[in-house]
Structure 1
Amino acid sequence: MPSHARNKLSARQVTTITKPGVYSDGGGLYLRVRPNGRSWQFIGTLKPKGQFRIKGTGGGTKVEMGLGSVSDVGLAKARELAAQMREMLLDGVDPRAERLKTKKADAPGESIITFGKFAIALIDSIEDGFKNPKHRQQWRNTLTTYAQPLFAVPIDKVTTEQILAVLQPIWLSKAETASRLRGRIERVLDAAKVKGLRTGENPARGRGHLDLLLPKRSKTAVKHHPALPFGSVAQFVTDLQGRPAVAARALEFVILTAGRSGEVRGMTWGEVDLGARLWTVPADRMKAGVTHEVPLSDAALKVLTSVHEAGLKPADYVFPAPRSGSLSDMALSQLLKRMGYGHITVHGFRSTFRDWAGETTQFGREEIEMALAHTVASSVERAYRRGRALEKRRELMTAWAEYCFKIPQNT
């Protein structure tokens, strides 16, 4: 059986391997070394029903694409491009055809400004305003992955029907992504109108327009993350503790702190005060842009001490990737799948915590919402009650940890 492991190559290997050949990084990404240079290649399979398979797993149509030379495309960028290719294949889209469309749309000497050309130029001009590099890349990825059918369309010719054709396939199955995509298309077209490249109403506007044409979904559909019932969390944590990987400890810490995956994966030792039993997440790493203090239970502290080593610096990641940098978001998702929980999400554990706290404890809504880093009350009230609220939240997180580690009952 072929290996499905990813990120097998190191940055040093990419530049120092001299023996000609093809070297797998995993996930369909290959480094091709020739006497006259080295380049990236993606190899995957487009299955009849849009199921992606890496090289060697059989069936479907083979898709092989060059991703550029190593001198032009670094390891991180190559992995990013390969991830985009995999996403297209999963959605039943042939990335070769989409690349051809984009090349035609952006051909030299072309006087027509297409949606794709304008969108990429807009992203380039506004991306410095995104404080989070991940959000910056998400903006680009969302459009290039899902709005590709619009890329060859002249910016002044984009219609409601064309936008619906892009949104409808994912409107219910990928609700959050679809909503973000609609908003980003709307912003691109609004910017084009400001530049004098369009006239009339924006065909991507939601209220009173697309919301009348797209399938209705519940108000919670957009933010829904499949979650584990809180009654099953103790068994899950027991299973999780039997796994020694760093990703397992990171996921355990996510559960015990009710934190967001990105906050935990980007956590550094400089944010932790073991003596005060406190983790302080700086504002620039928080979704709301506000510093968040997380009281640590004994169980959470135990996780930290299990991964702490002598000589670590404040800037070092608490849960580093096997080779370097921070863990990727896929590391925790893949862990869930390996454990047999592919039907839930990492973010869903926040819902698990909320359901447990709201249904089985006497803690107030304020403490629960503050534990989830949700804004409550006014800034004056928050400052006035900060000290007391932190201690109440410490009690809440201690109770949650005790619940997570209770002996699972066979039913």
Structure 2
Amino acid sequence: MARKTNILTAKMVRELTDPGKYPDGEKLYLEIGETGTKRWTYIFRFAGKRRQKGFGSVSEVSLKQARDKRREADAMVREGINPIEADRPLAQSHETATFGAVALEYIAGREAGWKNAKHRQQWPNTLRTYAKAIWNMPVDAIGVTDVLKILKPIWHKKAETAKRVRSRIEKVLGAATVLELRSGHNPAAWRGNLEHLLGTQRKGPKRHQPAMPYAAAPSFLADLKDRDSLAARALELLIHTATRTAEVLNARWSEFDLERRIWIIPAERMKAGKQHRVPLTPQAMQLLKSLAGHRTFLFPGQSNSKPLSNMAMLMLLRRMEVEHVTVHGFRSTFRDWVGECTNEPREIAEMALAHEVGNEVERAYRRGDALDKRRKLMERWSNYLSGQKSTAD
């Protein structure tokens, strides 16, 4: 089959059958064997030599996943790491086991349990950025001095980052000890070790997301309704439902049961990793009906395959000249209103925000999610925002 472009599409990956290598941009190839097998191949140069690494079969690795793997491999090559060696199981040898190799194996063994995609990305990025000096060092040669050189420059300037870096280095070196790739104490340990050398970090005031006073919310919502944009509708839904930015922007029509007036957000999209049922008020239902022409995502971006940018609502606030207020802060606006203007129990308000309520034992015995009670509360909230008298009062 003749190729007109060096960029593959998912349809082409499915339909191509002739044996050969089909490039997708640079270094990534769809390789089709004589028997029709399809697999991804990454071809690169390392230490002056041409190398080749397999990314898996098409049946197991999508085009998008293969491109993600290429980006990761390119980053390794730029940092002087051979992607082929990085993915191999650790040799049980003190000479070949580097900190970077142990770190990548440690991450690979645990990232499936990390529900947050940002967390999965931050782990390797943090270590490659801040632990670069020890990345290629034999893991059994790393000492306290090496760890201090990494942490001292950022210990007070980037306190939170420094704590994460120290903790992650400690975990990787701990794994190396268990694998018998090093022995002795852990040079990144805090108690009885670095606490005597780095000292206490300066603590700043706890930061809260700037929120709009609830008394100003009805007037703001009236102005928002006059805005003819998807970002305005997304922010409007977020305020009426007291949900989070990512929950709204990534909302799909398949999550909505309009007959029962419920939005069911799946566990994998929730911060707590549990399914959350959101009762839809009449105002939210009216808003949804105005969006009925869109497909897949409620709030698609430039194409229907991706949602709006996560900055869309914040930029809208700035265009409306609403300063010192964040999108996430509207959840605090709702919570303040519940506390000041209603007699609703704390548990109902917290459940409306999808917060965990009670200790582990209490949660184990709580089977329901108080949907009916939360529906009444959310209707009162929507009516307050709309300047209407609530039937639930």
Q: TM-score, normalised by structure 1?
A: 0.62
Structure 2 residue ranges without an equivalent (≥5) = 9-22, 28-54, 56-62, 87-93, 389-393
Q: 1:344/1:75 Cα in 2 relative to 1: closer, same or farther (>3 Å)? A: farther
Residue 268 of structure 1: which of 232, 252, 258 is its match?
252
Partner of 2:229: 245
Corresponding residue for residue 373 of structure 2 = 392
Q: Hey, what's the Cα distance between the residues in 2 that align with 1:305 and 1:330?
A: 24
Opposite residue 332 of structure 2, the aligned amino acid is S
Shift of 1:162: 3.3
Counterpart amino acid of 2:339?
Answer: G
Q: Structure 1 pair 104/376, CA: closer, same or farther in 2 (3 Å)?
A: closer
Q: Is the 8 A contact 1:163 1:203 kept in 2?
A: no
State whether residues 151 and 166 of structure 2, in contact with CA within 8 Å, keep that contact through their aligned partners in structure 1.
no
Give distance in 2, aligned partners of 1:220 and 1:208: 28
| 1:157-212: CA deviation from partner (whole Å, max 9, x where unpaired) | 1534234236436645xx4x665555433332322222223444444445676677
- 1:366 alignment partner, one of 329, 344, 347: 347
Greater mean deviation of Cα atoms: 241-250 or 286-295? 241-250
Q: Is the 8 A contact 1:147 1:166 kept in 2?
A: no
Q: 2:99 touches 2:135 (CA, 8 Å); kept in 1?
A: yes
Q: Are residues 188 and 241 of structure 1, via their aligned partners in 2, closer, same or farther at CA, if it must alter by over 3 Å?
A: farther
Asked if the contact 1:226/1:343 (under 8 Å) is kept, the reply is yes
Fraction of identical pairs, as percent: 42
Residue 375 of structure 1 aligns with an amino acid whose one-letter code is: E
Letter of the structure 1 residue corresponding to residue 235 of structure 2: L
Native 8 Å contact 2:95 2:138 kept in 1: no
CA contact (8 A) 1:149 1:166 kept: no
1:375-390 → structure 2 map (5 Å cutoff): 375-377=356-358, 378-379=362-363, 381-383=365-367, 386=368, 389-390=370-371
Say which of 260, 267, 285 aligns to 1:301: 285
Match of 1:26 in 2: none
Q: Deviations over 1:238-275 (max 9, x none)?
A: 44434433233223222221212222233222221112
After superposition, where does 1:96-111 map in structure 2 within 5 Å? 102-103=79-80
Q: Which of residues 302, 310, 332 in structure 2 aligns to 1:322?
A: 302
Q: Is the 8 A contact 1:249 1:303 kept in 2?
A: yes
CA RMSD of aligned residues (A): 4.5
For 1:391 and 1:288, the matched residues in 2 are separated by 21
Distance 1:256-1:124 versus aligned 2 partners, 3 A rule: same
The 2-side partners of 1:381 and 1:240 are apart by: 41
CA contact 1:105–1:152 (8 Å) conserved in 2: no
Tell whether the 8 Å contact from 1:367 to 1:392 is kept in structure 2 after alignment.
Answer: yes
Provide, for residues 47-83 of structure 1, a one-character-per-residue CA deviation record: whole Å limited to 9, x for no partner: xxxxxxxxxxxxxxxxxxxxxxxxx9x889989999x
Q: 2:312 and 2:133 mapped to 1: Cα distance? A: 31
Letter in 2 for 1:122: Y
| Equivalent position of 2:335 in the other structure | 354
CA contact (8 A) 2:218 2:385 kept: yes
| Residues 255/317 of structure 1: CA separation in 2 closer, same or farther (3 Å cut) | same
Q: Which amino acid aligns with 1:394?
A: R
Q: Aligned pairs, how many?
A: 323
User: Which among 103, 111, 118 is matched to residue 119 of structure 1?
Assistant: 103
Aligned to 2:168: 184
Task: Output the amino acid matched with 2:345.
Answer: G
Aligned to 2:43: none
Scaled by the length of structure 2, what TM-score is found? Answer: 0.64
* Partner of residue 120 from structure 2, selected from 124, 136, 140: 136
- What does the per-residue CA deviation read over 1:326-368, in whole Å, with 9 as the maximum and x for residues that have no partner? 3443444444455455755433332332233223332111111
Give, as a single letter, the amino acid of the residue that structure 1 aligns with 2:267: A
Paired amino acid for 1:125: G
Q: 1:252, 1:152 → 2: CA distance?
A: 50
Unpaired runs of at least 5, structure 1: 1-11, 17-35, 41-71, 85-95
